[in-house]
Amino acid sequence: MSLSPTAQSGRPVVPSRARWQPLGLDQVRITGGFWADLQDRNARTMIDHCERWIETLGWSGNFDAAVDGRLPADRRGREFSDSEIYKLLEAMAWEVGRTGDPELESRLLALTARIAAAQEPDGYLNTMFGRPGQGERWSDLEWGHELYCAGHLIQAGVARARTVDDWSADPLVRVVLRVADHVCGVFGPDGDQRVCGHPEIEVALVELFRVTGERRYLDQARQFVDRRGHGVLADIEFGRAYFQDDEPVREATVLRGHAVRALYLASGAADLAVEDDDQELLDAVTRQVRTTLARRTYLTGGMGAHHEGESFGQDWELPPDRSYSETCAGIASVMTNHRLLLQTADPRHADAVERTLFNVLAASPSAEGTAFFYTNPLQQRLPGDVPDPDVASPRASSSLRAPWFHVSCCPTNVTRTVATLSSYLATADDHGIQLHQYAPATIRTGDLHLTVATGYPLDGRIEVSAVSAPDAWSLTLRVPSWAVGAVLTRADGTQLGVDPGYSTVPGPRAGETVTLDLPVDPRFTVADPRVDAVRGQVAVEAGPLVYALESVDLGADVATARVTADSPRRDADGRVLVRARVDQVPARDWPYGATAETTPGEVRDVALVPYQAWGNRGPSTMRVWLPHG
Amino acid sequence: MSLSPTAQSGRPVVPSRARWQPLGLDQVRITGGFWADLQDRNARTMIDHCERWIETLGWSGNFDAAVDGRLPADRRGREFSDSEIYKLLEAMAWEVGRTGDPELESRLLALTARIAAAQEPDGYLNTMFGRPGQGERWSDLEWGHELYCAGHLIQAGVARARTVDDWSADPLVRVVLRVADHVCGVFGPDGDQRVCGHPEIEVALVELFRVTGERRYLDQARQFVDRRGHGVLADIEFGRAYFQDDEPVREATVLRGHAVRALYLASGAADLAVEDDDQELLDAVTRQVRTTLARRTYLTGGMGAHHEGESFGQDWELPPDRSYSETCAGIASVMTNHRLLLQTADPRHADAVERTLFNVLAASPSAEGTAFFYTNPLQQRLPGDVPDPDVASPRASSSLRAPWFHVSCCPTNVTRTVATLSSYLATADDHGIQLHQYAPATIRTGDLHLTVATGYPLDGRIEVSAVSAPDAWSLTLRVPSWAVGAVLTRADGTQLGVDPGYSTVPGPRAGETVTLDLPVDPRFTVADPRVDAVRGQVAVEAGPLVYALESVDLGADVATARVTADSPRRDADGRVLVRARVDQVPARDWPYGATAETTPGEVRDVALVPYQAWGNRGPSTMRVWLPHG
């Protein structure tokens, strides 16, 4: 029996060996529900929105200016702005692969042509460096983002290669191969022995090796991974941990420094370890990620507790109000945990993917798809202002979603990830199929054709039906860590209680259904007592969704809200309610003393919203963690 | 009767009108105890330490390089390094005024001569700008710190002017007058209409007006204060609030942005308001500072909750582990609150001065005076490493005190402040003397000669005795806000309970004593419930001292320490003890769930240390706020 995919087609990650092999975009299709809505929003609005901003601000025009010899005078945007065009190209490539939209493909090709025209004869391609009046090529590896940009360009090429019939003829892929060869020439064994201040090239080169089979790309990735951590970059005020140059990858015990950098590096190192059969390296990355999940991750799955350096805090340092939880770090965490899931088959990585998709990735775009959160705090102390829809925000944190940012890494990152969401749902091995994430979907691989029907995450019932199936196969279903009391109903109707983790049952035959019932009633969650910042507080979750209290629902600032011990519940409309009151706190000259008297308010029902939906109804204060008792 | 000082001699702040007039360094002398020890450490070690580092790093050599035409090639240090020489000069000037040390004065004059030699013919003086190969003068007001450096130079000149017999002949003062005149020429009513990114020039110009009587300096200060807040500086990633250019001074309701910048501006605006008889401006500053004390100040008096931008957080956003509480911000808070105390006679400003002196200023220097804290966190999660005594720290935060910093504003700021500590003890008005801070001291003004005898802050008894005194005068004593149950014993032996605030009794006559007994038993303190980060935790204070738990005393990491409800107490050695245990927390894959089980440890006595003394016994974890119950 072969249920494993045999081609690279439509798979964002293609390990040559894996406990579980990912399925491609053409094998798993999301057909409805929460994630289909987001994919529709991406197709209808978000990709267009990004393209329009990139054009309006002149960031794509930098390539035209390069061709016309108008650089650096006419250059627009930050030093890494090229990467936004590349991430958008990657999103377009996956989206074309997913939908076959010819109009989108023509836009992709047009953008590709402008980029290709700016490529220099030796393969170098970057609008920020190398021309008279600009910094020399590779003269600022700490901050210049040249290899980072090259990495995102390569990722776009990889996406294209995996979604076209003949990748070797594709114009984007051809640009990418020349860029990659140039990088290998400059940074190879006898070349420049440094690394990029922002990891990204590593993961890109491994995937390009997987596409092409060219060993030199893998070798170059290994060199970049091995060099880092030995102080090859300059010390900076943030310290070398900022770009993970403080400690070799295989010696580190936890992720640290700039969260996106750390997680991109972890993804690349994991991919490298797989292709090089380097179990020690894979174990090192796995250990780092698991410790990070256990000690440095917000309830939402968000990573990065410091605004300073957009970085991880220390263990247990997870203040809700100062949660940075950059959208890109969430995406990078999904990338990393997905890779580790494929290799280790450990459910905690799928749990992390789910939590982060629902509560970080999905939180970023507005309901309309025309504005984004860059940071994702778990507490908003000031209602703030509605950002101007025509002005890019000069800063990352905002009280409400902004249309664009001077540093606008997140929107394009969201678009490329949403286009590939279906790749996280299911995997295959020689015995059968594993379902990790639940959404209405169809799954076709080999002889197998399944449908998944569910109202998840609001409803906990997941029905997996076979339209056609081989005689004997195994269906493995993930029970999330919070789903204590889950029940699995086999195709023969027998029921069994299943613990969190993976449960395997005989796969349904054509016309049969296996049903998983997950308990998604709202529940209180408390934190490890070492998470000092949320002591004496509870959060409300229901299924994989983290909930939040907004002042627009409370009718008052959330600062002094308290919930009672009564369990949260759902009302007839599906809303999650808690019993809560708003305490009055007297004004004082000095906020510390022998006592802290308050006047309790009246207890009443208050509705919460899923965290990912907060901030869609105008300015509001908000909190995930609620004082209780 | 005249108890008010009639000369400027030895007074750091000299308002032309005040409810209470400060006394000079020659009028109030600290004769023993905690603050005398610190002043001795300053005289013996800290000033020398700063001078040596400034020389070693070549920061003072920049002036010689300017004279020799070796700039910018030979320039060392950051763009604001000139200011460190000026703050050191100010410290030297006050210290010479305090002690008359001729050796120190010769060093002061030698340093002055090197600076004077670098002054340009038109009065401009800055080693960072204006030469071929450097930025043009005043070309980077956002970040260049030119006016900031000029302000600190002026403050040094003011210190010198107030501690020499004939200021008009002093070489430092003569340099300063030329600098100030140059600034007025460039930034006057018809000149450059911008302001400096870092306030400091404002407070300096008002004091120079007070020294010289030259109205143009006051007018220039007004222009700088009035211009700010109208977006005259560029928008930056931190936002214009960073340098208080977001909102006019008289319209703002609270301090915000970079804490040192905000507080230097507040000091300057307060001084300006006094000299211009501008009650609206004084009220605005007073309102901002009081709201900041009520909502944006740590228990230690520390200000600045964000590492990002070294800035104030939002109301109630006061995480102990991320407390920035820059030493310089503490000093600036003392400056500002002292000024407002003189004008308003409101005890909360004296309370803030005391709290900040004991728990921020005093915390910065090591027991040896050869290393300093730049930031003052209220929780240290990692024990960290002992900084190399021969290496300047590239960053502000450190787990232990560092000898010097690449940005080394704090050490020199500490030295100038310690040299002037006695100016915060007492003031005078037409009726008598007010005592605000308690230390063994002598006070001489007019016909009055007092001695203060006390073991404060460890002992709460303060005895104020008259050696000689006029026939009738009033003695006003501050009862700190925490001192509920204080008892005042008049010279005639009658006792009265006194509430926090100021209490006035007939001044003792020659040979008589008035005694104040303040309750300094250790006590638990809780925070306003809106300070989410310390919910469910208590701090221990005794008198004005905040206490901390260090792992070296606990024998374990402080992360899972809990205190019982038993009141803290002092042992026979004067140490503060709490009943505490160390809980065991099981390892978990994910730190959130329905419950958070812990295994309670054995309850035992644990010693705390005054916060200002923490970190003097090697690497340690530390916390001020302790989970309880």
B476-500 pLDDT, tens digit each: 999 999 999 999 999 999 999 999 9
Strand A569-570 to A561-563 pairing: unpaired
The answer to whether B142 contacts chain A (CB < 8 Å) is no
Q: Which amino acid would we find at residue B453?
A: A
CB contacts, 8 Å: A591 with chain B = 294-295, 297, 316, 527-528, 530-531
Counting beta carbons within 10 angstroms of the beta carbon of residue A391, is it exposed (0 to 12), middle (13 to 18) or buried (19 or more)?
Answer: exposed
State the DSSP code for B334. Answer: H
Cis peptide before B72 (omega within 30 of 0): yes
- What are the tens digits of pLDDT across the range A235-288? 998 999 999 999 999 999 999 999 999 999 999 999 999 999 999 999 999 999
Q: Which residues contact A241 (CB under 8 A, 6 or more apart)?
A: A247, A256, A257, A311
pLDDT at res. B256: 98
Report long-range pairs for A234-241 (Cβ below 8 Å, ≥24 apart): A234/A142, A235/B394, A236/A142, A236/B394, A237/B394, A237/B395, A237/B406, A238/A308, A238/A309, A238/A311, A238/B395, A239/B394, A239/B395, A241/A311
CB contacts, 8 Å: B537 with chain A = 532, 535
CB contacts, 8 Å: A558 with chain B = none
A198 neighbors A243 (Cβ within 8 angstroms): yes
- What are the tens digits of pLDDT across the range A492-501? 999 999 999 9
pLDDT over 60 at A7, yes or no: no
pLDDT at res. A398: 74
The span from the CA of B388 to the CA of B392, in Å, is: 8
> Chain B, 327-386: which have a CB under 8 Å from a chain A CB?
348, 351, 379, 381-382
A351/B590 Cβ within 8 A: yes
Closest-CA distance of chain B to residue A484, Å: 10
Mutate one of A530, A567, A624 to test the B interface: name it (highest B CB count within 10 A).
Answer: A530
Name which of B286, B271, B149 is nearest B207 in CA terms. Answer: B271
pLDDT over 70 at A8, yes or no: no
pLDDT over 60 at B577, yes or no: yes
pLDDT over 90 at B239, yes or no: yes
Name which of A401, A494, A507, A387 is nearest A447 in CA terms. Answer: A507
The answer to whether A287 contacts chain B (CB < 8 Å) is no
CB contacts, 8 Å: A539 with chain B = 592
The span from the CA of A150 to the CA of A130, in Å, is: 14
Mark out the alpha helices in A347-394 (DSSP H runs): 347-356
CA separation (Å) from A394 to A242, A472, B507? 22, 57, 60
pLDDT at res. A1: 36
pLDDT at res. A462: 98
B498 neighbors B479 (Cβ within 8 angstroms): yes
- What are the tens digits of pLDDT across the range A359-400? 999 999 999 999 999 999 999 999 988 999 999 998 887 789
Nearest to A532 among B294, B533, B588 (CB): B533
The mean pLDDT of chain A is: 96
Q: How far is CA A229 from the centre of its chain?
A: 25
The span from the CA of A192 to the CA of A186, in Å, is: 6
Q: How far is CA B326 from the centre of its chain?
A: 10
B395/A239 Cβ within 8 A: yes
B406/A381 Cβ within 8 A: no
State the DSSP code for A243. Answer: G
pLDDT at res. A396: 83
The answer to whether A593 contacts chain B (CB < 8 Å) is yes
Q: What's the average model confidence in pLDDT over B382-398?
A: 89
A321/B591 Cβ within 8 A: no
The answer to whether B591 contacts chain A (CB < 8 Å) is yes
pLDDT over 80 at A3, yes or no: no
The span from the CA of A122 to the CA of B168, in Å, is: 69
Closest-CA distance of chain A to residue B406, Å: 9
pLDDT at res. A397: 79
In the numeric block, which tokens belong to residue B420?
Answer: 């002037």
pLDDT at res. B237: 87
B533/A293 Cβ within 8 A: no
Q: Count the Cβ atoms, other than its own, within 10 Å of residue A33.
A: 20
Residue of chain B whose alpha carbon sits nearest to that of A299: B592
A406/B591 Cβ within 8 A: no
The span from the CA of A515 to the CA of A518, in Å, is: 10
The span from the CA of B262 to the CA of B252, in Å, is: 11
B566 neighbors B579 (Cβ within 8 angstroms): yes
pLDDT over 80 at B9, yes or no: no
The mean pLDDT of chain B is: 96
Q: Count the Cβ atoms, other than its own, within 10 Å of residue A446.
A: 17
What are phi and psi for residue A488, nearest 5 degrees?
Answer: -115, 130
Beta strands in A240-396 (DSSP E): 379-380
Q: Is A369 left (phi over 0), alpha (psi -120 to 50) or beta?
A: left
The span from the CA of B395 to the CA of B408, in Å, is: 10
B381/A315 Cβ within 8 A: yes
A437 neighbors A498 (Cβ within 8 angstroms): no
In the numeric block, which tokens belong to residue B480?
Answer: 């700190």
A394/B294 Cβ within 8 A: no
> Chain A, 389-428: which have a CB under 8 Å from a chain B CB?
394-395, 406
CA angle A230, A233, A235 (to 5 degrees): 100
B161 neighbors B167 (Cβ within 8 angstroms): yes
CB contacts, 8 Å: A589 with chain B = 290, 293-294, 348, 481
Name which of B28, B16, B84, B22 is nearest B55 in CA terms. Answer: B84
Q: What is the pTM of this model?
A: 0.95
Q: Which amino acid would we find at residue B127?
A: T
pLDDT over 60 at A6, yes or no: no
Strand A474-479 to A432-435 pairing: parallel
B593/A482 Cβ within 8 A: yes
pLDDT over 80 at B140, yes or no: yes
The span from the CA of A334 to the CA of A303, in Å, is: 11
State the number of CA atoms in the 13 A half-sphere of B241 facing the CB: 17
The span from the CA of A203 to the CA of A270, in Å, is: 9
Nearest to A394 among B235, B526, B530 (CB): B235
Q: Which amino acid would we find at residue A67?
A: V
Q: What's the average model confidence in pLDDT over A435-446?
A: 97
Task: Please name the helix (run of DSSP H) or strand (run of DSSP E) that holds residue B570, with its range, or none.
Answer: strand B569-570
Closest-CA distance of chain A to residue B100, Å: 40
A207 neighbors A271 (Cβ within 8 angstroms): yes
The span from the CA of A175 to the CA of A177, in Å, is: 6
pLDDT at res. B438: 98
pLDDT at res. A4: 39
Q: What's the average model confidence in pLDDT over B330-355?
A: 98
Q: What's the average model confidence in pLDDT over A460-476?
A: 97
Q: Count the Cβ atoms, other than its own, within 10 Å of residue A231.
A: 11
pLDDT over 60 at A313, yes or no: yes
pLDDT at res. B220: 98
CA separation (Å) from A153 to A8, A49, A149, A179, A197? 19, 20, 6, 8, 17
Q: What's the average model confidence in pLDDT over A123-144?
A: 98
Name which of A351, A516, A331, A345 is nearest A421 in CA terms. Answer: A331
Counting beta carbons within 10 angstroms of the beta carbon of residue B575, is it exposed (0 to 12), middle (13 to 18) or buried (19 or more)?
Answer: middle
pLDDT over 70 at B420, yes or no: yes
A525/B592 Cβ within 8 A: yes
pLDDT over 60 at B505, yes or no: yes
